A and B are shown apart, each in its own frame.
Chain A
Amino acid sequence: MYSITANSFGEWRNAARTLLGAGISPQAVHWQSDQQAGLFDSCNLESIAANKQASASPTLTVPAQFISQAKKASCFIDINKPNEKWAVLYSLLWRIRHIDKHTLLLKSDPEVQALQRMSKAVNRDKHKMKAFVRFKCVNEDESQRDRYYTAWFEPAHAIMELTAPFFVQRFTSMNWSILTPHGCAHWNQSQLTLSPGIERPEIKEDQYDEFWRAYYCNIFNPARLKEQAMQSEMPKKYWKYLPEATCIKDLSRSAAAAVDNMVQSGTTNSERVRTSSKSVAGFQDKLRSRNRE
């Protein structure tokens, strides 16, 4: 049994290249991360390479799809089985190299599905992060150029680095920090810096949060209440980041009454204004007669 330590995609790839070169099968590898160091002594990769006289050509080609999915799966966090992802990835790599290079096409294979599931979960998490991060300006009195924005977000997986380019390309001429428990990203209009994760900081309301809430409340049509649909797209766990979430309960509760109100308030005859305002009537008549031509 070889105990191998991996904490990131890069570390896993290094190890996997060596193991594959040395012909060590997935069953003979035990994966671990630094958090549980000491459980087993980690093997020295160089000694594996030396002992097994690894094959001369270290160039490896695998389907591009595998790399991109593996990068995502590497960010996957499962507290109960934190290293299963490394094992699945190595096993698939082994199968792609030694058994069938089309392994990934076996959509109902358990390992292919595990990879899919992990990369999908990470994708979804990235997507939600792009959607639900909310920047708060911390120095509204400064000029536009010097304003600084911060956001606190807790993604389910370790996706800060993977998602940072999106924020850089979008909020380019802004200074900002996105803070998460698994890593932080900072941008000063020219350079991206990454730093380790932190605990939840104190974050103040932004003056525009009130405007956003007002927008949210008024764009909602009470006649179409469908709370479940909303919650499936925007699960409650995200609500703490969203200034508008405080309105949801009231809006849902008063929806029926609001519709009743509309229905009961009755109807208006469109002639009302036409009879009271000559200019409106004149304007409308002109258009109407043109339409009849």
Chain B
Amino acid sequence: MDILSKLEILADAAKYDASCASSGTEARNSLKSGGIGSTDPGMGICHSYTPDGRCISLLKILLTNFCLYECAYCVNRTSSNVPRARFTVDEVATLTMEFYKRNYIEGLFLSSGIFKNADYTMEQVVAVARKLRLEHRFNGYIHLKTIPEASPELLAEAGLYADRLSINVELPTEKSLNRLAPEKNARSITRSMARLGSGIEEYKESKKHARKQGNKKLVAPKFSPSGQSTQMIIGADDSNDSAVLRKANQLYQSFKMKRVYYSAFSPIPDSSSQLPLQAPPLVREHRLYQADWLLRFYGFGIDELTETANTNKTTGMLSLDLDPKLAWAINHREQFPIDLNKADYERVLRVPGIGVINARRLISQRKVRAIRYQDLSKLRLPLEKIKYFVQTIDYRPDSVRLESANFARLFVNNTDQQMSLF
């Protein structure tokens, strides 16, 4: 089979993995180190966008889509009737380099179906990264999907070359995992995540220690400087949003995950009869990302989020019509309006429609002079939304509105409804 056909098959097979991020690694620069490639500790670059609005930052492919496992939600499972292909290590390394040199990509995201056994597969995946780093002197971004059952030695070597390692939890509960992915094992997934987590911590700590001592030799061998991430499939089992968020929170807490990706299970060719017929609405995935954001950057506690999901007709599902921050604010309207001239940063952040950047702007501005209502429109804040929740020196919202029983109705916009496949 020629490389072009392999590329078609193995890109197609990789597209259901949501993550494509190339952010948050250490800064590298080939002018200093020689070779090709650079990375930025901040955001990676999106070199293109597909018509689904997703960023293309990495060459995201599978080494092979032959797989011995039978995960019901996956196109590559044994019983699926899709064309199969397998790249050699050299082919992936060359494609990555040539794509990179044309400025199509930031780097490589490599995963693989399981062939022969876990160690054999992982060894091939690691071989690609090794070749890129050592032979091609590639300094761009590498993300490797890790096989939980692979040996600790292989994990350590993967961590040496990769910017990020990830293991997918796949499903919110062990029960669902057993049912839909019978060859996968929740305990070995957890064990490997913990191993990655401590490897990442150790490396970080050793860097800190070395900096303090002023001795570069104290830095431990590199280990996945951009941390680990994972993916959870939404809507393939009956777990509600509360359960999903609790699981995510636990992953953030126990393994210091950089990101949990939520992937609404997508219709796939030749899908398994074990799956629900209907894909979940994409907006559900969107709401989960918003809630996740609140958890990580807005100082929301997990209980506040699950409470928001549970008060929505007691379904445990986040509202599809309202974003979770707005839904929370509506449930807690007794805490509003918030005085933008007095409230601390955390309180300002609670206002629906004020994000991290604008909250900081408001705080820095009010040091110079008091905030007036007009300033809000100059900052292009969404007045229609925030006007109910804030107070400035010359403005107070209409308390009757805020206290009215059908307050929430004000925000449900009929044209904004999620379209679903018909």
Q: How far is the CA of A182 from the CA of B53 in the complex (A)?
A: 31
Within B6-37, the residues touching A (CB, 8 Å) are 7-9, 11-12, 14-16, 29-32, 34-37
Question: B269 and A262: CB pair below 8 A?
Answer: yes
Question: B102 and A212: CB pair below 8 A?
Answer: yes
Q: How far is the CB of B306 from chain A (nearest CB, A)?
A: 27
Within A246-293, the residues touching B (CB, 8 Å) are 248, 251-252, 255, 259, 261-263, 265-274, 280, 283-284, 287-288, 290-291
Q: How far is the CA of A113 from the CA of B365 in the complex (A)?
A: 13
Question: A223 and B379: CB pair below 8 A?
Answer: no
A131 within 8 A of B: yes
Q: Which residue of B lies closest to A209 (CB)?
A: B102
Question: A105 and B365: CB pair below 8 A?
Answer: yes
Partner among A127, A248, A291 whose Cβ is within 8 Å of the Cβ of B45: A127
Q: How far is the CA of A210 from the CA of B61 in the complex (A)?
A: 17
Partner among B14, B35, B77, B267 whose Cβ is within 8 Å of the Cβ of A223: B267
What is the size category of the interface that chain A forms with chain B?
Answer: 35 or more
A108 within 8 A of B: yes
Question: B99 and A226: CB pair below 8 A?
Answer: no
Question: B51 and A227: CB pair below 8 A?
Answer: yes
With contacts A131-B46, A220-B50 known, is A269 near B79, CB below 8 A? Answer: yes
Q: Please tell me which stretch of A14-22, A49-57, A70-78, A229-237 contacts chain B, meaning at least 4 of its Cβ atoms lie within 8 angstroms of it.
A: A229-237
Question: A267 and B46: CB pair below 8 A?
Answer: no
Q: How far is the CA of A106 from the CA of B45 in the complex (A)?
A: 31
Question: A220 and B51: CB pair below 8 A?
Answer: yes
Q: How far is the CA of A212 from the CA of B378 in the complex (A)?
A: 43
Q: How far is the CA of A287 from the CA of B60 in the complex (A)?
A: 28
- Which of A215, A242, A269, A290 has the largest number of chain B CB atoms within 10 A? A215
Secondary structure at the A interface, as helix, strand, loop or mixed, is helix
A24 within 8 A of B: no
A216 within 8 A of B: yes
Partner among A211, A216, A280, A283 whose Cβ is within 8 Å of the Cβ of B50: A216
Q: How far is the CA of A172 from the CA of B70 in the complex (A)?
A: 45
Q: How far is the CB of A34 from chain B (nearest CB, A)?
A: 33
B332 within 8 A of A: no
Question: B15 and A262: CB pair below 8 A?
Answer: no
Partner among B7, B48, B183, B379 whose Cβ is within 8 Å of the Cβ of A234: B48
Q: Which residue of B lies closest to A290 (CB)?
A: B185
Q: How far is the CB of A262 from chain B (nearest CB, A)?
A: 5
Q: How far is the CA of A119 from the CA of B355 in the complex (A)?
A: 21
Partner among B35, B68, B104 whose Cβ is within 8 Å of the Cβ of A172: B35
Q: Which residue of B lies closest to A260 (CB)?
A: B421
Q: Contact string, B267-301, partner A, CB cutoff 8 A, digits 1/0?
A: 11111111100010010000000000000000000
- Chain A residues closer than 8 Å to B72, beta-carbon distance: 270
- Chain B residues closer than 8 Å to A2, beta-carbon distance: none
Partner among B16, B45, B48, B52 whose Cβ is within 8 Å of the Cβ of A130: B45
- Chain A residues closer than 8 Å to B41, beta-carbon distance: none
Q: How far is the CA of A226 from the CA of B37 in the complex (A)?
A: 31
Partner among A107, A216, A263, A267 whose Cβ is within 8 Å of the Cβ of B48: A216
B152 within 8 A of A: no
B343 within 8 A of A: no
Question: B77 and A270: CB pair below 8 A?
Answer: yes
B47 within 8 A of A: yes
Within A77-112, the residues touching B (CB, 8 Å) are 102, 105-108
A residues with a Cβ closer than 8 A to B are 102, 105-108, 113, 127, 130-137, 149, 151, 166, 168-174, 206, 208-212, 214-230, 233-234, 242, 244, 248, 251-252, 255, 259, 261-263, 265-274, 280, 283-284, 287-288, 290-291
B residues with a Cβ closer than 8 A to A are 3-4, 7-9, 11-12, 14-16, 29-32, 34-38, 45-56, 59-61, 68-70, 72, 77-81, 95, 98-99, 101-104, 137, 178, 182-185, 266-275, 279, 282, 361, 364-365, 367-369, 374-375, 378-379, 421
Cβ contacts A to B, 12 pairs, < 8 Å: A106-B368, A131-B48, A171-B36, A172-B30, A215-B7, A221-B15, A224-B54, A228-B53, A230-B52, A261-B269, A274-B70, A284-B183
